[in-house]
A = this chain, B = another copy of it.
Amino acid sequence: MDQKGFTRADVRDKLTGRARYADDLQFPGMLYARAVHCPHPRARILGIDAGEALAVPGVVGVYTARDVPGVNQGPQDKPMLAADIANSAGDGIAVVAAESQAAADQGAALVKAAYEPLPCVFDPEEALGAQPPVILYQADGLTDNVACRHRVVKGDVEQGFREADVVIERTYRTQRIQHSAIEADTAVVVPEGDGITVYCPCKFPYHIKARVAAGCGLPQNRVRIIQPAIGGSFGGKDIDIVVIAVRAAVVALRTGRPCKMTWSREECLLEGSKRHPFRLTYRVGAKRDGRITAMKIDGTADAGAYRSRSLATIWRAAVEAAGPYEIPHVDIHIRAAFTNNVYSDAVRGFGSPQVDFASESLLDELAQELGMDPLALRRKNILREGGTNATGQTMARVSIGKCLDRLEELFPLGAPVVTPEGKLRARGIACLHRGESYGAAARDADTAGTDVRAFADGSVGVYTSISEVGQGTHAAMAKICADILGLPLEQVRICPVDTAFVPDSGATAGSRGTISGGNAVRIAAGKLRDILQSAADGEDVAFRDGGLFRQNGERLMTFREAVGICHSRGIRTDAAGQWEAPRTGWDFEKHQGNTYYSFSYGAAGAEVEIDPVTGKVEVLDLLCLHDIGKIVNYPEACGQIAGGVAMAMGYTLTEELESREGILKNKNFDTYLLPTAMDFHRVRAVPLEEEAAENPLGVHGVGEASTALVAPAVANAIARASGLRLRTLPFTLERVRAALEKEEA
């Protein structure tokens, strides 16, 4: 394996500060916009008085839902601007546009709105209970607060429990967090010709294009999405960007001037989408020898005020909740509730980190109950080649066993230790399987289009709408293209993402960027190679070292010359690639099916040290290994795992959005605590090349799996170190200290 890898074309600009992000852009005559946010968690908007705001020098207009030219929202979806009723504190009700950001801010503060507060519900269990305080979307014909529900049924779970020697039941809770990209959500909308150009970061350009077009009442061929450099996505930069872009577009279309709207950090926390909080109750039955006979899972997630990507998140959570184990009898039921909290959307891993925390904590609890080694219990139950998972899918290319072997080798559990300073130290482990790409419940076909073009001088451009959100997928795609065409990497360039031109490659989501984008590049580059091959007039040639080589090793011509010959013959030297992932299917009646065409596997170990005086948990050593199939760029694979781990550390130890009665308590990063470099000791990111993945390139994604193992590994380490079983994330000082005190008491 080439562990040296290659350098990404985008790093130099990002490191030197030369990269231009959307908020860096300036256009002549550009206006600045600021939203006015509803202060109530649920309220009828009785009236909006823009008089004082309009009197501020520099303010050019105040716009409300009435000014949205197209579709303001879908059913139970987040509106671009709340029209009649705001369902969440922070919902935008108006946009103030001004010649400067300061004037826009001042104007927004002076907009007076009259509200009639309405009944609310904040607790998802209460929302789904028999007597909820309010049915939020009764006006839409809904009879309960269920945003969505998913069920997985395998065998007869009650029979399974009857067969068990041991049955335990535990409840786990995960918190609300946010993406926390350093780049705030932003969009610059420039009216151009008969349409608009939107400069914005996003993870799914064609989705933004479609939604912004709908919001603006424009056909899609008149809405152009251009991605400048992106300062992080982490599953976000999607619906929030639609909302921001349409708000800016309202100003741009009304005034005919460019308009920038950048959320302040406070607005990102206040109005931006969040990770779904979950309550998950697991009941598990096992034989004395550790063989699990039954698992029943009941879960509730908080969708917040709008449905958004709850469907995909809850479905993924449901089909993955039983973990990477072969269990004969399973019954899983997870519902998401509408509440008047800020809305939930996809956050990196969407669904996996929540259920993996629960199921992998549960495995350790079951091991303890059975008096078994946690690793041995896992080995007893893990999925094997040809086995069936909880959804009834026959599994292939399963490498979870190899991951556990490698984990044991690199990270033996050992015994808990009390340090001379009285700190409690121990190791814990966790493992996972994770479905790749959209999965069977998605409406969209899992396709990616990518084009490749050779220019007259032999340089090559690749056209994709897979987003480079920092994960290095563009570099991987360039490498795949260069390898197929036998070119040095420098000769291939991924062109800027601009929906006016690049084909639809789908979402940069579900860890599918390199898989789907890469395979589309593979197809397009292969077609281009076939075209250029024609320059050899039937001779069998190999493409390497920038040339076309005869079978005897002699160079017939350079790549550039082949391009020239094609051009002289009137042959275009470009090719379109379309990758379609193998189809999957889900039976919504039987609650069974083939969920994903491919799964990735991984395992992690965490060594923690607990200060019993402060409750502070230090993660001294963190090993994360993921079988990612064929490795395209080793250092980047390590980097992506390390990045996922860093994000997961915040989820595990510090990050939590707290609200009371729907009002957010921590409004900025002074109270919403992201981990810093000081919180990391040893981190070992280990990409494994065990089993080629189920696609021609053989690659797995690792953008999300890496976020899901830290919390359970740390929870299990804490339990092994201190005997404390923490079932609620995050493990803050206060929570750990309180638990220690309770135990002492």
Interface set of A (CB-CB < 8 Å, partner B): 9-10, 12-13, 18-20, 24-28, 191-195, 206, 209-210, 213, 219-222, 256, 444-447, 449, 453, 455-461, 463, 490-493, 495-496, 498, 500-504, 567-572, 574, 576, 578, 580
Contact between chains at A572 and B461 (CB < 8 Å) = no
A711 to chain B, nearest CB (A): 36
Cα A13 to Cα B256 in complex, Å, equals 11
Cα A85 to Cα B4 in complex, Å, equals 50
Contact between chains at A193 and B501 (CB < 8 Å) = no
> Which chain B residues lie closer than 8 Å to A501 at the CB level?
463, 495, 498, 500-502
Cα A221 to Cα B478 in complex, Å, equals 12
A688 to chain B, nearest CB (A): 31
Contact between chains at A580 and B576 (CB < 8 Å) = no
- Contact status of A457 and B503, CB under 8 A, knowing A192-B20, A194-B9, A578-B570: no
Contact between chains at B210 and A457 (CB < 8 Å) = yes
The 7 residue pairs across chains A and B that have the minimum distance between CB atoms: A501-B501, A570-B580, A219-B459, A221-B459, A220-B455, A221-B493, A447-B570
> Which chain B residues lie closer than 8 Å to A209 at the CB level?
455
> Which chain B residues lie closer than 8 Å to A500 at the CB level?
461, 495-496, 498, 501
- Contact status of A461 and B221, CB under 8 A, knowing A193-B9, A210-B456, A256-B18: yes
A337 to chain B, nearest CB (A): 31
Cα A191 to Cα B27 in complex, Å, equals 17
Cα A444 to Cα B503 in complex, Å, equals 29
Contact between chains at B445 and A567 (CB < 8 Å) = yes
Q: Contacting A24 at CB < 8 Å: which of B25, B28, B460?
A: B28
> Which chain B residues lie closer than 8 Å to A220 at the CB level?
455-457, 459
> Which chain B residues lie closer than 8 Å to A193 at the CB level?
9-10, 13, 19
A136 to chain B, nearest CB (A): 30
Cα A490 to Cα B219 in complex, Å, equals 9
6 pairs of residues in contact across A and B, judged by CB atoms under 8 Å: A9-B193, A192-B496, A219-B457, A219-B458, A445-B568, A503-B572
> Which chain B residues lie closer than 8 Å to A580 at the CB level?
570
Cα A18 to Cα B504 in complex, Å, equals 30
Given contacts A210-B455, A221-B495, A447-B572, 9 further A-B contacts (CB under 8 A): A18-B256, A195-B493, A219-B459, A444-B567, A446-B570, A447-B570, A461-B500, A463-B501, A572-B576
> Which chain B residues lie closer than 8 Å to A213 at the CB level?
457
